[in-house]
Copies of this chain bind each other. A is one copy, B any other.
Amino acid sequence: MTIEVTAGEPRLDALCVLAGQVRELMDAVALTDVGEEELTAVTGELSALTGRLRAAARTTPQPFEVAPDGTLRHLGNAVTGAANPHALPLAVERAPGGGVRAELVFRPLHEGPPGAVHGGISAMILDHLLGQAVAAAGLAGMTGTLTVRYRAPVPYGTPLVATAEHTRSEGRKSWADGRIALPDGTPLAEATGLFVTPAGWLQRGPAGQ
């Protein structure tokens, strides 16, 4: 996976590369078949590396911020953040016909039912994507209600496409629809979300979900 980081920020670049390596480690743990002694030996070495990273620590992840190139980013985000090992990560872009779009490949680590992605993980991705669709329409808000309809098992290890679009707004309420689909467009999980812009927020305010 290519990690894209704004040029000229070598420490953030190194942090994102580290997070990517931790994702590979997580995947390796989920599938490893090495013996007990080796598992324990690796655990000991990981403990030491964890201590080295804790030698200097913040209290919150990388914040939502304006990058040097003027774009908004949230590298610490739990679902999309390149600097957060928990994140897929998810690279969300504007769709040519409006709305937003992300190409994604789930991993064995995301398993719920045998051979398929956990339904809760599909919900997690759709919550974020719908919020991004509302933000892309120039609005911003927190999720009020999210409804996910599961159509078919979501496979891992194969390219999928997630899309979402803002459908309407009334006052501070905005709605969006989205889906995770096979590359041919067959929907696997669909969602509708209601997002509410807090009264005190400016348009284009905080956009983390």
Chain A residues near B (Cβ < 8 Å): 10-11, 14-15, 17-19, 21-22, 24-26, 28-36, 38-40, 42-43, 45-47, 49-50, 52-61, 63-64, 76-79, 83-86, 108-115, 117-121, 123-128, 131, 142-150, 153, 206, 208-209
Find out whether the CB atom of A53 lies under 8 angstroms from the CB atom of B42.
Answer: yes
Query: Most chain-B Cβ atoms within 10 A of its Cβ — which of A25, A43, A131, A147?
Result: A25
Q: Which residues of B contact A146 (CB under 8 A)?
A: 119, 123, 146-148, 150
CB pair A49–B25 under 8 Å, yes or no, is yes
Chain B residues near A145: list those with CB within 8 A. Answer: 147-150
Pair A22/B33 contact, Cβ less than 8 Å: no
A82 to chain B, nearest CB (A): 11
Q: Contacts A31-B61, A114-B208: A22 and B40 contacting too (C-beta < 8 A)?
A: no
Q: Is the CB of B120 within 8 A of A85?
A: no
**Residues of B close to A50: CB separation below 8 A:** 21, 24-25, 28
Given contacts A14-B39, A39-B18, A86-B86, contact A111 B78 (CB under 8 A): yes
Chain B residues near A208 (CB-CB < 8 A): 111-114, 118
With A29-B19, A83-B30: A63-B124 Cβ-Cβ less than 8 Å: no
Q: With A118-B78, A124-B121 given, is the CB distance from A111 to B32 under 8 Å?
A: no
Ordered by A's residue number, 25 sampled pairs between the chains whose C-beta atoms are within 8 Å are: A15-B29, A17-B43, A18-B39, A21-B43, A22-B25, A24-B47, A25-B53, A28-B50, A30-B61, A31-B54, A35-B56, A39-B53, A64-B114, A77-B111, A77-B118, A78-B117, A79-B112, A84-B109, A86-B86, A113-B209, A118-B124, A118-B208, A120-B127, A127-B148, A145-B150
Could you say which residues of chain B place their CB within 8 Å of the CB of A121?
78-79, 124
Interface centre among A42, A112, A149 (most CB of B within 10 A): A112
Q: Closest CB of chain B to A126's CB: distance in Å?
A: 8
